[in-house]
Amino acid sequence: MKEKPNIEITENDVQTILQTNYQDFRGIVATGVYCSHCKREHLNVGIKEYTITLNDLNDVHLKGKCTICGRDVGRYIAYGEMEKVYQRAEEFRNAYKSRVNMKIVKKD
Ligand SMILES: [Zn+2]
């Protein structure tokens, strides 16, 4: 079986895949990110200017900047462990293949 590529997806795509879990996603984006710099101040930081990657496990990886100090931060969310989300991600991938602008993200 061919390994699934990591693909960069949009905010709309993540909403399509997560559906009811999208509110949770928005909460993480707003205040659920770890920043080693802001941790000292015990601040709840969010992430801005982020890219969203759907990886081969159908987990979501955010990369962007801390909403408070602007340093690079990331957040990995294991949505692929949720059966319904995983299934929707698979359906999304099947539909996504026909897109001309599909962005495959190089694996780390
Ligand atoms: Zn920070």
The pLDDT tens digits of the residues spanning 83-93 come to: 999 999 999 99
Q: What is the three-class DSSP state of 103?
A: coil
Q: What is the three-class DSSP state of 51?
A: strand
Residue appearing with tokens 């997560």: 18
Residue 95 has pLDDT above 90, yes or no: no
- Which parts of 1-108 fold into alpha helices (H)? 11-18, 22-31, 83-96
> How far is residue 56's CA from residue 88's CA, in Å, rounded to a whole number?
14
> How far is residue 41's CA from residue 33's CA, in Å, rounded to a whole number?
14
Give the per-residue pLDDT at 86: 97
Residues with Cβ–ion distance below 5 A, ligand 1: 35, 37-38, 66, 68-69
Q: What are phi and psi of 9, to 5 degrees?
A: -120, 165
Output the pTM of the full model: 0.87
pLDDT band at 7 (very low <50, low <70, confident <90, very high): very high
Higher pLDDT, 61 or 40: 61
Give the per-residue pLDDT at 58: 97
User: How far, in Å, from the CA of 27 to the mean position of ligand 1?
Assistant: 17
Average pLDDT, the chain: 92
